Amino acid sequence: GAAQWYQVDGTVYYAPAEEAFRDYLELYRQWYAEGLIDQDFYSRTTSTDIEPLCFNGDAAMSIVGYINIDRYDMQTADDGWWTPIRVPRISEDDISRLYAGNTSNRTSNSTTTITTACTEDKVDLILRWQDYLFTYDGRILTQFGVEGVSFYYDENGEPVMYDFILNNPDGRSITAGLHMYTMHHSTAGMWFEWYREVPATMSDKAFVETAQVWDSNMEDPQKFPGNLTIDEANYTEYTARFNDVETYVNEAVVRFIVGQDELNDESWASFQNEIKNLGIENCIKWQQEAYDRYLARDLTVGYTDEQIEEYNIGEY
């Protein structure tokens, strides 16, 4: 899905349509044949299917996110049983420019929607509320709560949650404590302070050591938003075409990796021709248009000149 899309210097690409994707398939095909990849990987679609392999010692490596590696059961087990490794690459010194979820790139794709029954006066109220969530006062209220109740200002003037939330004496989790006094970032689009809840819930090993490894060999990162909006006039056709492309690609990739299909010049050309026949070129064009609109969006709508200057809104 979204992970198959990326951009380089403003140009959008669909990974399976690029020649470099063949190198990826060749590498994983080799690893699978050598028994280095779970022989049933294609049938394990959830974390529930994957995690037991690691905890039972049946797998030496697994792809996890920041939250997973700081779970209680992983931290209370033998501390030396897991270590972060870099994303696989062809050469030891290859530079990474595409990534997701590391310390340099944490985003929230939350959105706010209204129904057709919403009257015009209510729309105005909703928009003013949404604007407030991106002001300094809105940021403090939604992310930290009320001063003297859930947080205090430290000597540097930065808001800090009280210890009864971060280290609850009754055993309540940090997440539960935060939800009692603040808004979770997935409830609405807002000025999201990720460091408020992510580092506070993580061990030094998970937050510091892992970041050092995952951020290594990273230059000129090419960030790509995961919530681009396809133009309404093309959305229905885009959805239909890309669903067909994605279904075909997912099935073909598995067949290539497990060796069910040969991977040679002829089969690669056939693969490329099929995704073109299914409409990937138009899908790429519509994604490019969506990305161009994303880059050209007005980030300062709803704010006064004084707010823009005070909050440095134009830099976000």
In this prediction, residue 116 carries a pLDDT of: 82
191: nearest Cα among 227, 140, 146? 140
Q: What percent of the chain has a predicted confidence (pLDDT) above 70?
A: 78
In this prediction, residue 35 carries a pLDDT of: 92
In this prediction, residue 91 carries a pLDDT of: 79
Alpha-carbon dihedral of residues 251, 273, 13, 190, nearest 10 degrees?
A: -50
312: nearest Cα among 111, 146, 112, 136? 136
Q: Amino acid identity of 6?
A: Y
Backbone angles phi, psi at 109, to 5 degrees: -100, 25
Burial-class residue 189 by CB neighbours within 10 Å (0-12, 13-18, 19+).
middle
DSSP SS3 for 150: coil
**d(Cα 83, Cα 251) in Å, to the nearest integer?**
32
> DSSP strand E in the chain: where?
5-8, 11-14, 151-153, 159-161
Cβ proximity of 141 and 129 under 8 Å: no
pLDDT at 34 over 90: yes
pLDDT at 51 over 50: yes
pLDDT tens-digit profile of 197-209?
666 666 777 777 7
Cβ proximity of 133 and 144 under 8 Å: no
Is 53 or 163 the better-scoring residue by pLDDT? 163
Tokens 């590391």 correspond to: 102
Helix (H) or strand (E) holding 61: none
In this prediction, residue 279 carries a pLDDT of: 97
Give the residues across from 160 on adjacent strands.
152
Tokens at 265, concatenated:
């010049």
Average pLDDT over residues 73-80: 54
pLDDT category of residue 195 using cuts at 50, 70 and 90: low
pLDDT tens-digit profile of 99-157?
654 444 444 455 677 788 888 788 888 888 888 888 888 888 988 999 999 999 999 99
Cβ proximity of 64 and 50 under 8 Å: no
Cβ proximity of 66 and 206 under 8 Å: yes
pLDDT tens-digit profile of 216-259?
777 777 778 777 889 999 999 999 999 999 999 999 999 999 99
In this prediction, residue 102 carries a pLDDT of: 44
